Amino acid sequence: MRTRRQSAIGGPTPANIDVEGGGEEEYTPPSGVRAKREVCPYGCQRLVAPRTIEIHRTQGCRGLHEEPFGEADRRRNYLCGVCCMEFHTRRGFMDHMNDEHDVAARIHVLDFPNREMFERFFHWLEVQGGANFRTRSGAKRQLTGKRAMMFRCNRTGYVESQSAAERRNREKLGPVRCGYSCTAYVQVTFHEEGHCTATFCGDHYGHDARLRVPLGVKHLIGRYVFDQDMNFGDIVRLLHYKFAPLCTENVLAQRIRMIDNDEIRTIVLALKRQIENGTPLPEAEDIWDEELLDKAQIDRPWITQRNLRPGDKTTEELARELDWPVPSVFVAKQKSADGEYRPVVHMLLGKEQRGDGEDAEDDEDSDHRIVSVEKSPSFQNPVDYHLIPVGETVEYETINVEEVEGGALRRGRPRGATQRATISPHRSNLTRILLSEANYIKTLVAANVTFQNDQELMRWIHKLREVRKELNDSSKREGHTMQTPADAYFDHLVHEDILRDERKRPYDTAFTPINGNTDLGIVSDDEELITQTTQGHIHYRPELWN
């Protein structure tokens, strides 16, 4: 007679089986089970699917790497993104975030007369919070006739995907899963009488806005391609033009304006497979997609059935009338030695990078500009200019601006003969200041941070330009006539990383054409920024700089 050890969730473990009479023999799974499994690397010897190893670690694995806190026999479903402490219950996790990190997330309970009203609220909550929700545990049918569904913020958790497309997206925008638990969730119960009750927290912390492209916009792109034979560039320009007026008040419009040719190609291929499988493009839209496209004033003659009738209230009007709680986005804070809360960014950045000088602005409005800091991508030139010793002779490449064709500096490939020069202490200090401030803005851009307004961005650029001007004046006084690596780094930073970010620049709705001989490979789709070119110098619209 054999007895199997029972796991924490009640099932047999695929470990060794005790055999009556002494000894152990290897457990052989049934012949029909051939799913790929790996032995848990944390020491419990269970076979776990590779994609669920991290979930298994936080939900009951008690192997060789035992944590020093918490109860060993309970699952830990919630991970703090600041101090990495794990919690068994959501209430304990949210109390910790409120007490230790000043994240005052609120839990609300609302009743809805029908499922349609809840779905409108659910989509409104996603748009207002800047993040989608995903189903956590599917639908659970209970004995009472109720059906409950649990949703968590889509940025919660950690998944290591091997998809090449997702790897490219992570390189552009960072991973979708932030590696820890967000406070936002929705738990809804559908009653057999028809009404539903939602217990939810719409407040987020620790991540930026990341929304999916609405399904109605995907179908709109499919109609443009399959029915009207529009090319991808025209579709991108049309979406930019239509949704530009809505960007100041709707984060979903900002997401749509970020659609590029590659994303349109992916959408079209998916819709093409859908049509080949026998599912045509629909002739109706969800009510929230209908509201969005109507607000953008996009004609859709193929829509034969509309949800909104004249006189019906929009979702925004219902939200104001029913007083739906607007979500907040918090910046996690940490208690300092003096007992006050400080944003996490101030603890990660050094004194020089966060600007603790005499003219630094230490106001509360600037505390939420950045949530987390990652190492900035290195400049393509292998020389580390931060380590230039004072008064030491170094080699660097000279730059002849008149010979630069199409902005070679912007590609990070300066050309010219190698010369030798001695960097004075004053000039070396200015170089460090310039690169320190430049790295700070580059960190903001790499972290996908949106500046609160144009004045804030202009203030940073103006500060860098003042340092650069002083650096150039010092170069002239010392007899240098060539551009230094720090100057080339500054050009590369400002031109490529800031001005090419569409969220940080005005948009030209008149589609200003390019004048002069400009390298289109460098300008790409950003021709609205260019007014003219002269001898390789790219001149941008003055409102971006003045």
In this predicted structure, what is the pLDDT of residue 304? 83
From 299, 318, 336, the end of a domain falls on: 299
Nearest Cα to 243, choosing from 298, 291, 287? Answer: 298
Specify whether 380 is located in the same domain as 509.
Answer: yes
From 158, 193, 212, the end of a domain falls on: 212
Specify whether 68 is located in the same domain as 81.
Answer: no
In this predicted structure, what is the pLDDT of residue 530? 37
Would you say residue 360 lies in a domain? Answer: no
- The residue-averaged pLDDT of 514-536 equals 36
CA distance to 399, 459, 471, per residue, from 465 (Å): 19, 10, 10
The predicted model scores a pTM of 0.52
Q: Which of 63-72, 173-182, 361-370, 473-482 has the lowest mean pLDDT?
A: 361-370
- The residue-averaged pLDDT of 204-225 equals 90
In this predicted structure, what is the pLDDT of residue 225? 92
Specify whether 180 is located in the same domain as 272.
Answer: no
Specify whether 173 is located in the same domain as 46.
Answer: no
Would you say residue 353 lies in a domain? Answer: no
3-class state of residue 445 by DSSP: helix
Res 154 pLDDT > 50: yes
Specify whether 390 is located in the same domain as 492.
Answer: yes
Specify whether 160 is located in the same domain as 187.
Answer: yes
CA–chain centroid gap for 129, Å, is 13
Predicted confidence band at 267 (pLDDT cuts at 50, 70, 90)?
A: very high
Specify whether 191 is located in the same domain as 284.
Answer: no
In this predicted structure, what is the pLDDT of residue 200? 94
In this predicted structure, what is the pLDDT of residue 321? 92
Res 122 pLDDT > 90: yes
In this predicted structure, what is the pLDDT of residue 343? 76
In this predicted structure, what is the pLDDT of residue 399? 32
Torsion sign over Cα 80, 84, 90, 93? negative
In this predicted structure, what is the pLDDT of residue 462? 67
- The residue-averaged pLDDT of 158-184 equals 71
CA distance to 30, 212, 514, per residue, from 209 (Å): 46, 10, 33
Residue 520's contacts (CB-CB under 8 Å, 6 or more residues apart) are 514
From 177, 212, 247, the end of a domain falls on: 212
Nearest Cα to 173, choosing from 526, 446, 441, 376? Answer: 446
Would you say residue 284 lies in a domain? Answer: yes
Would you say residue 338 lies in a domain? Answer: no
Specify whether 533 is located in the same domain as 390.
Answer: yes
Would you say residue 305 lies in a domain? Answer: no
Query: The tokens of 477 are what?
Result: 């006084």
Res 409 pLDDT > 70: no
Predicted confidence band at 193 (pLDDT cuts at 50, 70, 90)?
A: confident
Predicted confidence band at 220 (pLDDT cuts at 50, 70, 90)?
A: very high
In this predicted structure, what is the pLDDT of residue 324? 93
Specify whether 236 is located in the same domain as 99.
Answer: no
Residue 212 burial class via C-beta count within 10 angstroms: exposed 0-12, middle 13-18, buried 19 and up: middle
Specify whether 61 is located in the same domain as 83.
Answer: no
In this predicted structure, what is the pLDDT of residue 99? 86
Phi, psi of 52 (to 5 degrees): -115, 15
Predicted confidence band at 423 (pLDDT cuts at 50, 70, 90)?
A: very low
In this predicted structure, what is the pLDDT of residue 157? 81
Specify whether 20 is located in the same domain as 167.
Answer: no
Specify whether 72 is located in the same domain as 91.
Answer: no
Res 66 pLDDT > 90: no
Taking all residues of the chain, what is their mean pLDDT, rounded to a whole number? 65
Residue 204's contacts (CB-CB under 8 Å, 6 or more residues apart) are 129, 130, 131, 153, 155, 182, 183, 184, 327, 328, 329, 330
Res 176 pLDDT > 50: yes
Would you say residue 258 lies in a domain? Answer: yes
Res 55 pLDDT > 80: no
Would you say residue 237 lies in a domain? Answer: yes
Would you say residue 441 lies in a domain? Answer: yes
Query: The tokens of 268 are what?
Result: 């079209």
Res 202 pLDDT > 70: yes
Residue 39's contacts (CB-CB under 8 Å, 6 or more residues apart) are 45, 46, 47, 48
User: 255 vs 179, which has greater pLDDT?
Assistant: 255
Res 94 pLDDT > 80: yes
Task: Give the total number of structural domains in the chain.
Answer: 4
Q: Provide the domain limits for residue 49.
A: 2-76
Select the highest-mean-pLDDT range: 164-173, 302-311, 422-431: 302-311
Res 522 pLDDT > 50: no
